[in-house]
């Protein structure tokens, strides 16, 4: 591992979710039937040409979709998908590299430049993108506290690269890729709900949504958008500011907690306050919380707060990982005691 990849492409970041030409339309299954894990097939509707991503080629797009698909099958949190994509961008530029002869780094192969001699698998296994992604996620899960680590630290704990700090440079691009795959103009709709993650809603839509994302991937779409603000402000988190002045907003959204949640939900800016957000949401039980749900203190004005739920840290449900916009550093993705710091009794679970 440790091969430095310089991306030669330029232009607005995008992603070709699926490339195929067929009379009457384009249909694909992101997840193949080979390899391990669940087989959650999906139908992709080709987005309009003007919204097609521009700077990943077809192979890179397929490999990104595979990495994210395996992460979804293994129920890896969205943060793990971003780490995996950033790692593959650094190691291989999302190209499934074979042996490059004299230019090869030892016996490194594939998307993550995994080495057979280091126990990652046989060359044939490593050259299978699904296997390689699964091996990466398996190793990542073994890193204590990886979900709250800086991306480059978590990636390096898995890769042990000679260029351990290089992964950080890809975080913004990886976040955007994760936000686009399955969550953008092309809607990914499972063909078999029983094979999908446990947090899939019971109702699916096979068409384009008229409002916020619908279907199996709604929760992970929310998390992907929330993730983007961690690196959207000159490579760092978007700073907190509660202001009604549109010149201080970020991409049309207020930079306070409820403006951030509104953005993550995929709704038009600038966003309601926490009381308005609570009024448009449905109270749920603690045990019903799933990715993309909200914890809201619906107090008026500056007294309110909202956190986007990611996942429980363990089966005790005494703490969880959440996304929030707060005055102590702007956008955060961190472990939070339930329901909130200092035992705030006014924070309650909701589903938008």
- Can you give the pLDDT at residue 26? 25
The CATH class, in words, for 246-351 is alpha beta
Cα-Cα-Cα-Cα dihedral of 223, 263, 64, 93, to 10°?
A: -110
Strand partners, 44: none
- Rounded Cα distance, 135 and 271, in Å: 40
Q: In tens digits, what is the pLDDT along the chain, a chain of 352 residues? A: 544 333 333 333 333 333 232 222 222 222 232 333 333 333 333 333 332 345 788 888 889 889 988 998 898 888 899 899 999 999 999 999 888 777 777 788 999 999 999 889 999 999 999 999 999 999 999 999 898 888 899 999 999 887 778 898 888 888 778 866 644 333 333 333 333 333 333 322 223 333 333 333 568 788 889 999 998 998 889 999 999 999 999 999 999 999 999 999 989 999 999 999 999 999 999 998 988 999 999 987 668 999 999 888 877 889 998 999 999 999 999 999 999 998 888 999 999 9
- Can you give the pLDDT at residue 6? 33
- Rounded Cα distance, 231 and 151, in Å: 11
- Can you give the pLDDT at residue 317? 87
- Can you give the pLDDT at residue 301? 62
Q: Which are the contacts of 193, defined by CB distance < 8 A and separation ≥ 6?
A: 200, 202, 204, 216
Residue boundaries of the structural domains of the chain: 42-221, 246-351
List of E strands, the chain = 42-43, 189-190, 282-283, 294-297, 305-312, 319-326, 330-337, 348-351
- Rounded Cα distance, 315 and 76, in Å: 16
């Amino acid at each position: 591992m440790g091969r430095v990849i310089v991306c030669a492409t330029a232009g607005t970041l995008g992603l070709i979710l699926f490339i195929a030409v067929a009379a009457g339309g384009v249909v694909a299954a992101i997840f193949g039937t080979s390899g391990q894990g669940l087989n959650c097939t999906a139908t992709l509707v080709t987005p309009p040409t003007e919204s097609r991503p521009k700077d990943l080629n077809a192979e890179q797009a397929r490999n990104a979709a595979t990495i994210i698909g395996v992460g979804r099958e293994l129920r890896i949190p969205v943060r793990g998908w971003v780490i995996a994509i950033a790692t593959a961008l650094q190691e291989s530029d999302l190209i499934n590299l074979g042996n490059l002869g004299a230019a090869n780094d030892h016996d490194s192969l594939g998307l993550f430049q995994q080495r057979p001699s280091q126990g990652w698998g046989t060359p044939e296994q490593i050259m299978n993108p699904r296997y390689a992604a699964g091996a990466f996620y398996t190793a990542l899960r073994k890193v204590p506290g990886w979900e709250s680590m800086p991306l480059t630290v978590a990636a390096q704990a898995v890769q042990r690269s000679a260029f351990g700090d290089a992964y950080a440079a890809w975080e913004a691009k990886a976040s955007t890729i994760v936000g686009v795959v399955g969550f953008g103009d092309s809607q990914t709709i499972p063909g078999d709900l029983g094979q999908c993650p446990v947090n899939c809603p019971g109702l699916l839509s096979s068409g384009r949504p008229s409002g916020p994302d619908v279907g199996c991937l709604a929760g992970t779409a929310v998390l992907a958008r929330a993730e983007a603000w961690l690196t959207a402000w000159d490579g760092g988190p978007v700073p907190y500011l509660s202001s009604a002045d549109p010149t201080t907003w970020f991409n049309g959204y207020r930079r306070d907690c409820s403006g951030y949640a509104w953005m993550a939900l995929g709704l038009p800016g600038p966003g309601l306050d926490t009381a308005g957000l609570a009024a448009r949401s449905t109270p749920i039980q603690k045990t019903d919380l799933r990715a993309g749900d909200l914890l809201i203190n619906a107090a008026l004005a500056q007294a309110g707060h909202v956190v986007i739920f990611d996942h429980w840290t363990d089966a005790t449900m005494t703490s969880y990982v959440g996304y929030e916009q707060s005055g102590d550093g702007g956008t955060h993705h961190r472990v939070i005691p339930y329901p909130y710091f200092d035992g705030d009794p006014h924070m309650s679970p909701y589903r938008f």
